[in-house]
Chain A
Amino acid sequence: MSTASGNTVGMDSSMALQKQMLARHYDRLSRAEEEGRACAYTFVPGNLTELLLSFDILPVLPEINALQNAMRKKSRDYIATAEKLGHSEDVCTYVKCDLGMAKSGNVGPTGERLPDPSVLLLSYTGCFTFMKWFEILKQEYDCPIAMLHVPYQGAGAATRNMRDYVVEQLKENVIPQLEAVTGKRYDEDRLSEHLAASARAEDDFVAVLESAKHKPSPIDAYFGGVYYISPIFTAFRGTPEAESYYETLREEVQERIGGGLGPITPEGTLPEERYRLVVEGPPCWTNFRDLWKMFYDEGAVVVASTYTKVGGIYDNGFRHDPSRPLESLAEYCLGCYTNLNLPSRTDMIVKYVEDYDADGFLVNSVKSCNSFSAGQLLILRQVEERTGRPGGFFESDLVDPRYFSGANVKNRLESYFQMVEQKRSAVRSLS
Chain B
Amino acid sequence: MRCFVGVDLGSTTTKAVVLDEDERLLGRGITNSRSNYDVACAVARTEAFINARFGLFAGRLAEAGLEKEERGALTEALGRQFRREQHTVQQRALAGVMRGELERDKYAAVRAPLEERLETILDGMNEDIPPMFEAGAPERSDFFRDTATSGFMRRAEGIRGKQVNFDLLMSVFDRAILQVENQELDLSFSANVRPALDRVLAGGGERWRSKASHLASVTDEVAALDLDEVNAVGTGYGRSKLPFRQDQIRSEILCHGLGAHWMFPKTATVLDIGGQDTKAIQVDNAGIVTSFQMNDRCAAGCGRYLGYIADEMNLGVHELGPLAQKSCRNIKISSTCTVFAGAELRDRLTLGDKREDVLAGLHRAMMLRAMSLLARSGGIEDEFTFTGGVAKNPAAVDALHRLVDENYGDRTINISPDSIYTGSIGAALFARRDEGGAESEAA
Which residues of A does B touch, CB under 8 Å?
367, 377, 381, 384, 390-391, 393-395, 403, 405, 407-409, 411-412, 414-415, 418-419, 422-423, 426
Cα separation A42 to B80 with both chains bound (whole Å): 75
Within 8 A of A (CB), among B287-312: 288-297
Q: Are A390 and B291 in contact (CB under 8 A)?
A: yes
Residue from A405, A415, A423 in contact with B251 in the complex, judged by beta carbons closer than 8 Å: A415
Task: Tell me whether A418 and B251 are in contact (CB under 8 A).
Answer: yes
Whether A426 contacts B296 by the Cβ 8 Å rule is: no
Kindly supply a per-residue 1/0 record for chain B positions 169-203, scoring 1 wherever the CB is within 8 Å of any chain A CB and 0 otherwise.
00000000000000000000000000000000000
A413 and chain B: residue at smallest CB distance: B251
Partner of A408, one of B251, B296, B376: B296
Given A377-B376, A381-B378, A411-B251, also A422-B288 (CB < 8 A): yes
Q: Which residues of B contact A (CB under 8 A)?
A: 237, 250-254, 277, 286, 288-297, 376, 378
25 contacts between A and B (CB under 8 A): A367-B297, A377-B376, A390-B290, A390-B291, A393-B293, A393-B376, A394-B296, A405-B297, A407-B237, A408-B295, A411-B277, A412-B296, A414-B251, A415-B251, A415-B252, A415-B292, A418-B251, A418-B253, A419-B253, A419-B254, A419-B289, A419-B291, A422-B254, A423-B290, A426-B288
Q: Which of A407, A409, A411, A426 lies in contact with B286, CB distance below 8 A?
A: A426
State whether B254 touches A384 (Cβ < 8 A).
no
* B292 with A395: CB separation less than 8 A: no
A-B pairs, top 4 by smallest CB distance, nearest first, are A415-B251, A408-B296, A415-B253, A419-B289
Complex interface: chain B residues within 8 A of A415 (CB): 251-254, 289, 292
Residues of B within 8 A of A407 (CB): 237
A377-B376, A426-B286 given as contacts; is B296 within 8 A of A418 (CB)? Answer: no
Query: Which residues of chain B are near A422, meaning CB under 8 Å?
Result: 254, 288-289
Please name all residues of chain A whose beta carbon is closer than 8 Å to the beta carbon of B296 when the two chains form the complex. Answer: 394-395, 405, 408-409, 411-412
8 more contacts with CB within 8 A, not counting A384-B291, A411-B296, A419-B254, are: A393-B293, A395-B296, A403-B297, A407-B237, A408-B295, A411-B251, A415-B254, A419-B251
A377 to B280, CA, bound (A): 14
* B288 contact from A391, A411, A423, Cβ within 8 A: A423
Complex Cα distance A377/B374, Å? Answer: 12
Q: How far is the CA of A393 from the CA of B282 in the complex (A)?
A: 14
Which residues of B have CB within 8 Å of A394? 296
In the assembled complex, the Cα of A394 lies from the Cα of B376 at a distance in Å of 12
In the assembled complex, the CB of A362 is this many whole angstroms from the nearest CB of chain B, namely 12
B292 close to A391 (CB less than 8 A): no
User: Once bound together, how far apart are the Cα atoms of A398 and B49, in whole Å?
Assistant: 48
Query: What is the bound-complex CA distance between A347 and B188, given in angstroms?
Result: 61
Bound complex: CA A377 to CA B375 (Å) = 10
Question: Does the CB pair A419–B292 fall under 8 Å?
Answer: yes
| Bound CA–CA A394/B296 (angstroms) | 8
Q: In the complex, what distance in Å separates the CA atom of A407 from the CA atom of B290?
A: 22
Q: How many Å from the CB of A419 to the closest CB on chain B?
A: 5
Tell me the smallest distance from the CB of A274 to a CB of chain B, in Å.
13
| B378 x A418 contact (CB < 8 A) | no
Determine if B291 and A391 form an interchain contact, defined as CB atoms under 8 angstroms apart. yes
Contacts of B294 in A (CB 8 A): 408, 411-412
